[in-house]
Amino acid sequence: MTATSSCPTASQAAPVNLVIFGATGDLAMRKIFPALASLCQNGLLSHDTRILAVGRTDLSADEYSNLLGEKLAQAIPPSCLADLVPRIRYLRLDPDEPESGYTLSMALGDLDRETPKNRLFYLAVPPSAYIPLATMLGEAGLGRESEDTSVRIVVEKPFGRDLATARELDTVLHRYFKERQIFRIDHYMAKETVQNVLLLRFANALFEPVWNRRYIDHIRITAAETLGIGHRAGFYDQAGVLRDMFQNHMMMLLSLCAMEPPSIFEAELVRDERSKVFRALRPLDLERLDEQLILGQYGPGMSGGEAVPGYLQEPGVRPDSITPTFAWLKVYLDNWRWQGVPFHLCSGKRLEAKHTEITVQFKSVPVSMFRKSRDEVIPPNRLVIGIHPDEVVRLEVQTKGQGSQLCLQGQSMEFSYGAGSGLGRLDDYAKVLLDCITGDQTLFWRQDAVELCWGFLTPILDRCDCPDSELPLHTYVAGGPGPKAAQRAG
Ligand code: BG6
């Protein structure tokens, strides 16, 4: 398939004072600084943008520059690092100290001395630090915007650990910031092929007429990982796969597959439509939960040719932990378009391959007119939207196999993103960071959607968290296909 037009590249964002809390941490080093470097490299970061890297560790400017050099050497080309580092200033700050808000205001005042700039506060810290930091910013008056400059705050999922804590976090954020100032990041939304779901659906007349309960049998959304929990036991053992992957990424993918077209592609209208999907989620029947939910936990096995420990043997995991690392969940949406169509959501760690994809399975033809000659059963059409590692859109159809006999042959019509020029392409974090700087909220979670998803999942989580729950937790071999029960379920 050939591309018929190329995308204009984004233009340079207005200068900003970017404050990164957690600036010595994993998220900042692995994702945020490389994303900034990528913006820099693509000419999208203004020369006047300044970065205030904030951490609790006592480091001199030189020590912090050395740390950056050391941690980012692999991820960022040296020329890019040389461009970025002079714009970064390190500030040691302990938000628990009463004068921390004042210290931060002074540091920002220094950065603003030439011209006041927009401000962006990025909370790259553990979720338990969101409320204290938002409070510190708010109490120091740093949430207030002026006529000419904006103030934005960025938080990463998880937004709470259930409905009550999500609301608690939101109350504090809203005490000091307006909804339009709050950017709740879901990096899945910045993936090219994820965004492509809406383009594919709503920029083609071909798919939409069949995109409903009449023609679609089911939709399957898979996010399988080969990695285990790494060094994240502290977080993961409290969260599990439902909080880590379902409340956010999987729900977001579901909403893109199921939403109605907004009248125009604008942040609030798109977000309205996504929320309507979550509002239509049919509550699970808790008495028959095992028909719609299969949970698993990986045992020891082989991954990438190496023996790997089971979840319970991972350092930092409670030896009797019942935290699921795998889930298969069947959900229904109670609305006209989707009544009766199951959505199978499946995600797990330590599976045999890393792959993220959406499969739309259409209904079978009503009857096979070829049944007398050869084929009794005609496989249904499928539209596969590959997100990782293959960024493809593949339509699986039936054709005539070559030869004198009448026989069916499955064929794929495929478009591969990877084969494109990649010009102007930004990685996930660079894209969302640019949107935070320019103030485009289309790809971010709005609080009503967060609460609707927690409202749906919290009763299930209460069951899963309960040691006396009768829900089975299936052990699966690391590096394998996942629990057998889930493979049977589809
Ligand atoms: C994160 C989860 O949000 O997404 C991780 O916390 C998970 O546990 C990761 O590994 C998966 O992201 P990706 O982009 O690699 O599919």
Whether pLDDT at 112 is above 80? yes
| Cα 469 to middle of ligand 1, angstroms | 27
- Rg, Å, the chain Cα set: 24
Whether ligand 1 lies within 6 angstroms of the CB of 225 is answered as yes
Find the catalytic residue in 174, 218, 231, 249: 249
The whole-number pLDDT of residue 363 equals: 97
CB 180 within 8 A of CB 441: yes
For ligand 1, the distance from its centroid to the CA atom of residue 393, given in whole angstroms, is 22
Sort strands 216-224 and 355-362 into parallel, antiparallel or unpaired: antiparallel
Residue 336, pLDDT score = 97
As a whole number, the mean pLDDT across the chain is 92
Q: How far is the CA of 349 from the centre of ligand 1 (A)?
A: 10
pLDDT for 59-108, tens place per residue? 999 999 999 989 888 888 888 888 888 899 999 999 989 899 999 999 99
Looking at residue 422, what is its pLDDT? 56
Under DSSP, the state recorded for 386 is: E
Mutate to test the pocket of ligand 1, among 242, 245, 252, 311 (most ligand atoms within 8 A of CB): 245
Helices 267-279, 447-465: inter-axial angle, 10-degree rounding: 30
State the span(s) of the chain assigned CATH 3.30.360.10.
Answer: 189-422+446-489
Atom of ligand 1 nearest to the CA of 349: 10
The answer to whether 349 is annotated as binding is yes
Q: Is 191 marked as binding a ligand?
A: yes
State yes or no: pLDDT of 187 exceeds 80.
yes
Q: Which atom of ligand 1 is nearest the CA belonging to 232?
A: 8
Residue whose CA is closest, atom 4 of ligand 1?
Answer: 245
Determine if ligand 1 sits within 6 Å of the CB of residue 222: no
> 244: Cβ below 6 Å to ligand 1?
yes
List the strands of the sheet with 88-92, edge to edge: 88-92, 50-55, 16-21, 118-123, 151-156, 182-185
What is the pLDDT, as a whole number, of residue 81? 84
At 131 the three-state DSSP class reads: helix
pLDDT of residue 9: 66
Where residue 253 falls among pLDDT bands split at 50, 70, 90?
very high
The pLDDT confidence band at residue 421, using thresholds 50, 70 and 90, is low
| DSSP reduced 3-state for 209 | helix
Confidence of residue 191 (pLDDT cuts 50, 70, 90): confident
- Residue 187 assigned to a binding site: yes
Instruction: Give the lowest-confidence range in 137-141, 363-367, 414-418.
Output: 414-418
- pLDDT above 90 covers a percentage of the chain that reads 74
Contact (Cβ atoms closer than 8 angstroms) between residue 416 and residue 392: yes
Q: Sorting pLDDT into bands at 50, 70 and 90, what band is 49?
A: very high
Task: Please check the confidence at residue 444 and state whether its pLDDT lies above 80.
Answer: yes
Beta pairing partners, 123: 21, 155
Distance, CA of 216 to CA of 363 (rounded, Å): 5
**Token pair for residue 425?**
């392409």
- Is pLDDT at 2 greater than 60 in this prediction? no
Residue 1 pLDDT class (50, 70, 90 cuts): low
Answer whether residue 488 shows pLDDT above 60: yes
Of 200-214, 331-345, 367-381, which gets the smallest average pLDDT? 367-381
pLDDT score at 233 = 94
Q: What percent of the chain has pLDDT over 70?
A: 96
356 lines ligand 1 (CB under 6 A): yes
Is any ligand 1 atom within 6 A of the Cβ of residue 323? Answer: no
CATH 3.40.50.720 intervals, the chain = 16-156
To the question of whether residue 145 is assigned a binding role by annotation, the answer is no
Architecture of domain 189-422+446-489: 2-Layer Sandwich (3.30)
The pLDDT of residue 282 is 98
The pLDDT of residue 382 is: 98
Q: Are 347 and 222 in contact (CB under 8 A)?
A: yes
> Residue 343: pLDDT above 70?
yes
Q: What angle do CA 198, 460, 224 make, to 5 degrees?
A: 50
* Selected residue with higher pLDDT from 346 and 425: 346
Q: If we measure between CA atoms, which residue out of 186, 185, 211 comes closest to residue 198?
A: 211
For residues 78 and 82, give the distance between their C-alpha atoms in angstroms, rounded to a whole number.
6
Question: Exposed, middle or buried by CB within 10 Å (0-12, 13-18, 19+), for 373?
Answer: exposed
pLDDT interval class at 428 (50, 70, 90): confident
Mutate to test the pocket of ligand 1, among 186, 188, 241 (most ligand atoms within 8 A of CB): 188
**Ligand 1 centre and the CA of 411: distance in Å?**
32
**112: CB partners within 8 A, 6+ apart:** 17
> Which atom of ligand 1 is closest in space to residue 191's alpha carbon?
14
Residue 436, H or E segment: helix 428-438
Q: Is the pLDDT of residue 240 over 70?
A: yes
Q: Tell me if 157 is assigned to a ligand binding site.
A: yes
Q: Rounded to whole angstroms, how far apart are CA atoms 249 and 303?
A: 24
| pLDDT(424) > 80 | no
Q: Is 47 a catalytic residue?
A: no
Superfamily of domain 16-156: NAD(P)-binding Rossmann-like Domain (3.40.50.720)
Per DSSP, the residues of 242-310 read IIIIIIIIIHHHHHHHHPPPPSS--HHHHHHHHHHHHHTBPPP-GGGGGGTEEEEEEEEEEETTEEE--
Q: 231-242 b/e with 16+ CB inside 10 Å = b?
A: eebebbbbbbbb
Cα–Cα dist 246/257, whole Å: 15
- The span from the CA of 45 to the CA of 109, in Å, is 21
| Pairing relationship of beta strands 343-348 and 326-331 according to DSSP bridges | antiparallel
Q: Which residue has the higher pLDDT, 13 or 209?
A: 209
